[in-house]
A and B are shown apart, each in its own frame.
Chain A
Amino acid sequence: MLVATVGNVLVWAVWVGAAFACLGSGIAVVSFSNPFYSALALIGNLGSLAVLYLLLSAEFVAAAQVLVYAGAVMVMFLFVIAYIGPRSDSPWMGGPSWQAAGAVLAAGALLVEIVVVIGLKASGQLANSEKITSAFGSPAEIGRLFLTDHLLAFEITSIVLLVAAVGGVILGAHARGGAEEVPPL
């Protein structure tokens, strides 16, 4: 009983830390003016999310998050940021303020709607959670699901990745015969 309570407190502590790290780094990503710092903040965000996944018994997904997202995607981001060179602009937008108002309004509306919908639809059920086995979230389970229930998603995902790879190569290739000057904006 004590162990359970201690465990609970521990989980709560870890959760609070990870959650705040997540939110803080999220705000940081959006707020920094230097994209390099934003990218680094995002890495922090991804890491804290991995911790949250672990708390939710999604071990494989947490590992994939760190490997793929933090490891591959963010590295790519950092490469490109470095390649582009130093660029800083003001954190916030140019353009008419009604766009800012509209943006805030849209984001706020989305947030409110999410809350309302979840509150309406799932309030009763959110309290209790299902019992899960220890195999839940394990690579074996993921693999089994991918190859049986969600085979189509698996295959399509692979095609999407292929297309992205091809697209990336084409976009990155040097133009033949010299680049023409694009008229300045």
Chain B
Amino acid sequence: MMGPGVAWYLAVSGFLFGTGALGVLLRRNPLIVLLSLEIMLNGANLALIGFARNLGDGSGQIFALAVMAVAASEVVVGLGLVVALNRKRVTLDVDRLNTLRG
């Protein structure tokens, strides 16, 4: 295959995943947490597509499409939660949302 080998793509994918993880763990605004989550998912997608190309197997692309669909669903629900929170005049701060404590 022309261009970089699959290892390069995997490096980018790993980096994206790590960045997204940092965003999820360190940001306070739930919207940005969701966005970071999207980055993580996209990192995973990139790895899948890379391996699909490497192994000549189309299943990787199928998997990536399924991930995309699930990510979309999850974003719908997450944003719905944020909207509902906003309607109840609750602070949109992950550090303050702890009433589901044990």
Contact = CB atoms under 8 A, between A and B. Distances in A.
Direct contact of A and B (CB under 8 A): yes
Interface of A: 4, 7-8, 11-12, 14-15, 19, 22-23, 26-27, 29-30, 32, 35, 38-39, 42, 45-46, 49, 52-53, 55-58, 60-61, 64-65, 68-69, 72-73, 76-77, 80-81, 83-84, 87, 89-95, 99-100, 102-104, 106-108, 110-111, 114-115, 118, 125-127, 129-132, 136-137, 141-142, 145-146, 149-150, 153, 157, 160-161, 163-165, 167-168, 170-172, 179, 181-182, 184-185
Contacts of A100: 26
Interface of A is mostly: helix
A96 B31 CA distance: 21
B19 A26 contact: yes
Contacts of B99: 185
Interface residues of B, number: 80
Given A92-B28, A94-B95, A114-B10, 15 more contacts: A15-B4, A23-B12, A29-B36, A52-B49, A58-B52, A80-B82, A83-B83, A127-B5, A129-B55, A142-B65, A153-B62, A153-B66, A161-B69, A164-B73, A165-B76
B77 A23 contact: no
13 contacts: A26-B15, A29-B39, A30-B22, A61-B45, A61-B68, A64-B65, A65-B45, A68-B72, A83-B83, A84-B83, A93-B26, A129-B55, A141-B58
Contacts of B54: 125-126, 129-130
B68 to A, nearest CB: 6
Given A52-B46, A58-B52, A73 B21 contact: no
Contacts of A69: 38, 42, 68, 71-72
Interface of B: 1-10, 12, 14-23, 25-29, 31-32, 34-36, 38-39, 42, 45-46, 49-50, 52-56, 58-59, 61-66, 68-77, 79-84, 86-93, 95-99
* Overall SS of chain B's interface: helix
